[in-house]
Amino acid sequence: MGETQLTGFEGRPVRINTGLFINNEFQPARGGAELEVENPTTGARLASVSAAQKEDVDAAVTAAQAAFKGPWRTTTPAQKGRLLNRLADLIERDADDLASLEALDAGVLFGDSKGLHISNATETLRYFAGWADKVTGQLLNIPQGYAFTRREPLGVCAAIVPWNAPLMITIWKLAPAIAAGNVLIIKTPELSPLYAQRLAELVVEAGFPPGVINIICGQGHVAGQALAEHHGVKKISFTGSGPVGREIMRAAAGSNLKKVTLELGGKGPSIVFADANLQNALFWTTIGFTANNGQICAAGSRIYVHASIYDAFLLAFAEKLAGGTPGDPLSSATTKGPVISQKQKERILEYIRQAKTSGIRLLAGGDLASTNGHFVPNVAFADVPDDARIMQEEIFGPVASIAKFHTENEVIEKANATEYGLSAAVFTNDVNRAQRVSEALESGQVTVNCWGMLHANTPFGGVKQSGFGRDMGEEALDGWLTTKTVKYFKLPTADDK
C-alpha cells in the first residue's frame, strides 16, 4: 500500500492512495493482498490497489457500526445534507482528476466522464442533500388512540458498483443512503477502482465522520461475497450482471434476509415510427448503442424501424457509423475509447463473428485501424431475426440489431419479447401513440424522441430480469429506509367511568 502518481488530462499528474479506506484512513489489505489495474487503452499495468479480504470486510462493518451508533446518530439531517453538498462541491473542484482516472482504467472518454458522469453525480448529491431533512412519516387515526409512522435508516448498508460508469453509479447509491441516515460500505469494481481512491480523500475533506463511508476494492467472489453474506449488513445495492445478482440474492436469503436492490442487464428496444423526425431518430439511435462502446445496461441495441422508412433509415444509419477516431480517451481528439478488457473485447468480437457466420446481413462496421489495447468496431446488422443471439442477448458492446415492423401492435410484441425490461425509446411525432406505446412497453423507463437521459429526480431501474428497486428519484430514498409504526392507546380516565 502507498501512493501512486499517474498522468491525467493534458499531462497533469494525478496522485492517489492505493489502500483500503476504512474508518477515514487508508490501510493495507489483510496479508498485503493487491489487485493489478490495467490501462485498457494500452494493455499496460497502471497501478496496484489493496484487495479486501473477508477480515477487511469485517473491519469495515465494525467501523460502520460504531459510526452508526456514535457520531452519525447525533448528526442532524440538515448537517447530513450539508455534507452531501460539500462532497458535490469537492467533486466539481477535482473533476479533471476524477475524469482522468475513469479514462485511465475504465476507458471512458474524458469529456464524457466530466460532462456526463460527473455532472450527473454532483446533481444527484445535491438532489438528495435536499431530501435529507424532509424524510417524514404519517399521523394515523386508530380506534381509542392514534398512531404514527417513522421512516428510519436501516443501519450498515453496502453498495457493489460496476466498472462501466463507476463514479456516477457510486453516487447513485451513496447519496440516498447517506440522506436516509445510513452508513455505507462501497465495494468498487476491480477493473476500474481508481476513481474511488480519490473519492475517499474527498469524503474526509468534506467532513464525514470516520466510519460513515468506507470504500474498499476487492474481488467479487471474496469481498463482494463477504458483504452479501455478512449478518451486520442490513442492505446491499448491486449494479451488474444477472448471474451475480442472483448470487447476491441467494447470499442475502441465506444470511440475515438483508434488503436487496438489483439493477441488472438490459436489451433496450428503440422504436422508430414512420412519422418520426428521421435526423433526430438517427442521432439518438446511434448514440444509444455506441455511447461508452455500448457498455451500458440501458443501451438501445435493438432498433425497430417502420417498413415505410426502413431502407432510408438503413442508408443514413450506415453513413452515420462511418468514421470516428479511436485512441486515448484522455485526448480531446478521440471519439472512441477501448472496451474494458481483453476478455470483454473477445466476447464482443465473438458475437459479431457468430452473427456473420449465421448469415445475418452486416450493415456497417468492420475492423478498426491496427491499434494496441482493447478496441472494437461499431457494428450494425440489418434484417435481424427475432430469435438471433444478437437480438436476444446482452452483448455489452457497440453492436446494433436492426429489424423492420409494420404495425404498432407488432412492434410492441417484438419489443417485449425479451427477458429484460430496463430501458426503451420511442420515436414519433404522435403524442397519443407515444403514450400508448410507453404504457404497453415492459420497461422500467421509456424515453420519447431521445435516448438515455438521466436526471437525479427521475427513478432508474428495471422490471423482469433487469432487476428491482430504483436508483435516483424519491423512490431510491425509499429503498434505504424502513418504516416503524408506533401506536398510542388512550387509557381510561375517571371521566370515562
Report whether pLDDT(258) > 80.
Answer: yes
From residue 377, give the alpha-carbon distance in Å to each of 1, 156, 200, 336, 365.
Answer: 37, 43, 35, 9, 6
- 424 strand-pairing partners: 446
Confidence of residue 495 (pLDDT cuts 50, 70, 90): confident
Report whether pLDDT(122) > 80.
Answer: yes
The confidence score (pLDDT) of residue 2 equals 87
Distance from C-alpha of 172 to C-alpha of 459, rounded to nearest angstrom: 10
For the stretch 30-62, pLDDT in tens is 999 999 999 999 999 999 999 999 999 999 999
From residue 222, give the alpha-carbon distance in Å to each of 57, 159, 187, 249.
Answer: 9, 15, 11, 16
According to CATH, what is the number of the domain 269-448? Answer: 3.40.309.10
Residues recognised as catalytic:
263, 297
Report whether pLDDT(371) > 80.
Answer: no
For the stretch 159-205, pLDDT in tens is 999 999 999 999 999 999 999 999 999 999 999 999 999 999 999 99
Confidence of residue 12 (pLDDT cuts 50, 70, 90): very high
Confidence of residue 497 (pLDDT cuts 50, 70, 90): low
State percent of the chain over pLDDT 70: 98
User: Which residues have CB under 8 Å from 425's CB, separation 6+?
Assistant: 268, 269, 270, 271, 284, 285, 288, 300, 446, 447, 448, 450, 451, 452
The confidence score (pLDDT) of residue 496 equals 66
Q: Point out the least confidently predicted range of 95-104, 223-232, 322-331, 393-402.
A: 322-331
State percent of the chain over pLDDT 90: 95
CA angle at residue 210 from 208 to 211, to 5 degrees? 105
Assign 3-state DSSP to the chain and report helix, strand, coil percentages, each to 5: 40, 25, 35
- Burial environment of residue 1 by CB neighbours within 10 A (0 to 12, 13 to 18, 19 or more): middle
* 389 sits in which H/E element: helix 389-392
Confidence of residue 492 (pLDDT cuts 50, 70, 90): confident
The confidence score (pLDDT) of residue 1 equals 59
Residue 477 — φ and ψ, nearest 5°?
-60, -40
Confidence of residue 370 (pLDDT cuts 50, 70, 90): low
| pLDDT, averaged across the chain | 97
Distance from C-alpha of 175 to C-alpha of 88, rounded to nearest angstrom: 10
Q: Where are the domains of the chain?
A: 3-264+462-483, 269-448
Averaged pLDDT for residues 318-329: 91
Confidence of residue 6 (pLDDT cuts 50, 70, 90): very high
Confidence of residue 369 (pLDDT cuts 50, 70, 90): low
User: Which residues have CB under 8 Å from 175's CB, separation 6+?
Assistant: 84, 124, 125, 127, 128, 129
The confidence score (pLDDT) of residue 490 equals 86
Distance from C-alpha of 178 to C-alpha of 28, rounded to nearest angstrom: 26
Whether 128 contacts 475, CB under 8 Å: no
Report whether pLDDT(77) > 60.
Answer: yes
CATH topology identical between 3-264+462-483 and 269-448? no
Whether 28 contacts 2, CB under 8 Å: no
Distance from C-alpha of 20 to C-alpha of 216, rounded to nearest angstrom: 5
For the stretch 437-473, pLDDT in tens is 999 999 999 999 999 899 999 999 999 999 999 999 9
Distance from C-alpha of 415 to C-alpha of 270, rounded to nearest angstrom: 8
Number of C-beta neighbours around residue 272 at 10 A: 29
Distance from C-alpha of 379 to C-alpha of 207, rounded to nearest angstrom: 47
Decide if domain 3-264+462-483 falls under CATH 3.40.605.10. yes
